[in-house]
A and B are shown apart, each in its own frame.
Chain A
Amino acid sequence: GAVVSQHPSRVICKSGTSVKIECRSLDFQATTMFWYRQFPKQSLMLMATSNEGSKATYEQGVEKDKFLINHASLTLSTLTVTSAHPEDSSFYICSARKGRGEETQYFGPGTRLLVL
């Protein structure tokens, strides 16, 4: 199988604080990880793509200083929402791709962020 986990599954924080979300590939090494954001009743929007050991590539309109992505190893990527505000409240989903000819993305269960 190819299992991707996220932690935490949900988090509530105060406005102005920073929140870190972890994405782990549990049984495979992920050459590439993706971060998506999903608003209620809307589709997933790709925020950024990260490759292990290099800087993330952000989609147009996504603030890289606001959403810090670190892909420190082949099994872990983190998304830090800095100085969170209520408009950052959303469902954040990561996915991971093995690479080496296999292009399927395996998705994590998502993290619900609520900023008060």
Chain B
Amino acid sequence: GNSVTQMEGPVTLSEEAFLTINCTYTATGYPSLFWYVQYPGEGLQLLLKATKADDKGSNKGFEATYRKETTSFHLEKGSVQVSDSAVYFCALEVGYKLSFGAGTTVTVRA
């Protein structure tokens, strides 16, 4: 079956620190990979995506590269801000079905 494993949180960082959230997956077929973000009190929003191996998704300073050889899609940001405090979900899609990781809560302190 399809599954996603992501780094457990919570993660607490200082502003301008480097953020990495690890994500690995198991999938049948050729999945698309996603990172979603959920800000407090809001619904999930698509942060970035990659549809094939070696693709790099990027948005708002966040990046993730689809690594087929290591079945990974780690999320990185070089300098976080307080406004990046949220829950981050790694997900894969096969067909139209999304499978999510458990989510990682990130808190950025000023």
- A binding-site residues for B, Cβ under 8 Å: 4, 32, 34, 41-46, 49, 93, 95, 97, 103-110
The residues of B that contact A42 with a CB separation of less than 8 Å are 102
Q: Which of A45, A49, A93 makes the CB contact (< 8 A) with B43?
A: A93
Interface size class of B (residues with CB under 8 A): 10 to 19
Interface segment out of the listed B52-60, B61-69, B76-84, B92-100: B92-100
Tell me, in angstroms, the Cα distance from A105 to B97 when the chains sit together.
10
How many A-B contacts at CB < 8 Å in the complex? 42
Tell me, in angstroms, the Cα distance from A110 to B36 when the chains sit together.
15
Tell me, in angstroms, the Cα distance from A104 to B99 when the chains sit together.
14
Is there contact, CB below 8 Å, between A43 and B102?
A: yes
The residues of A that contact B102 with a CB separation of less than 8 Å are 41-43
Is there contact, CB below 8 Å, between B45 and A107?
A: yes
Tell me, in angstroms, the Cα distance from A42 to B45 when the chains sit together.
18
Q: Which of B45, B46, B89, B96 makes the CB contact (< 8 A) with A44?
A: B89
Is there contact, CB below 8 Å, between B101 and A43?
A: yes
B4 at the interface (CB under 8 A from A): yes
B44 at the interface (CB under 8 A from A): yes
